[in-house]
Structure 1
């Protein structure tokens, strides 16, 4: 085997995957991801155009700026859950309030898709508790 063997890269990628798993396990990862994904349809749908042949359907409402603010704040709260897990309860409560505000302000919360994703992520954030420090990964 030479130094440039692809087997060496496999061990490097496995180490990166294990490091990502440790990082993901030390914070409410899925809560942040679902909260961020919930903000995307809330932001996108009020500005989207649906073209069917020559017919263009626009979902623009007068609350487009409110949808933009709510969606951006949900994405920001999702990132806060990832990078500041200490404030996960505050971020979860704020995400629940914003998701509920998106019902009247943003096409029923992004046609219920963004609303449900944000509510699920916020509930996961509130319910998440840090675990005990784990043991080192066995080197295999």
Structure 2
């Protein structure tokens, strides 16, 4: 089971539930998490070279000669993440681009945003390259599940309703076995009485 074929949240009549179901259906057809991590990786790379740290009356600037390069790398990472969302077929290009830009940010942008952007960028690049769309059969099944929207709670309710019936069936199946196991013991004990009488008559 994949995230695209997993059961959806139970249906509801409220607007938040309908919006969440539409967002879930949209998210399952594209490398959502890889694009999100690429966007998050671009934020620290873009921020730290232009950030000022104030300690009391002392202001520390982290800007370096690579400030313009950090700006370009951060913006490109954000653009590639958004592109992977809206153009899933370009996922490999976006993944390779995110990985290369993340490695370039190590010497250019304060070790890739103090390792935060570097780690997120490398993970995002791997996820974007590894993501594959569903096969036509799985896509049709996912669309049918999204259109039908089977409530998960109904399956749980059906299981709870079937549980007492299954227990009753098990009890009924065990009772004849117990009766059959006791009856042969009584029948075998009854022929022993004439054997004692015959022994007394022979005396």
- Do they fold alike, i.e. is TM over 0.5? yes
- Say if 2:69 is the partner of 1:57: no
Secondary structure of 2:14's partner?
Answer: helix
Q: 1:128 aligns with which of 131, 153, 159?
A: 131
Which has more radius of gyration?
2
Q: 1:16 aligns with which of 4, 16, 19?
A: 19
Structure possessing the higher relative contact order (Cα contacts under 8 Å, 6 or more residues apart): 1
Secondary structure of 2:63's partner?
Answer: coil
CA distance in 2, matches of 1:54, 1:10: 56
Which whole-Å deviations, capped at 9, do the CAs of 1:88-127 have from their partners, x for residues lacking one?
0010001100000000111000001001111111110111
Q: Show structure 1 runs of 4+ deviating over 6 A.
A: none
Name the one with the larger helix percent. Answer: 2
RMSD: 1.4
Question: Is the deviation greater in 13-22 or in 128-137?
Answer: 128-137
- Say if 2:48 is the partner of 1:36: no
- Unaligned regions of 5+ residues in structure 1, if any? 1-8
TM-score by length of 2: 0.63
Query: 1:103 corresponds to which residue?
Result: 106
TM-score by length of 1: 0.90
Secondary structure of 1:41's partner?
Answer: helix
Q: 1:117 aligns with which of 113, 117, 120?
A: 120
> What is the deviation of 1:11?
2.2
Q: 1:68 aligns with which of 67, 71, 80?
A: 71
Q: 2:84 aligns with which of 78, 81, 84?
A: 81
CA distance in 2, matches of 1:118, 1:75: 10
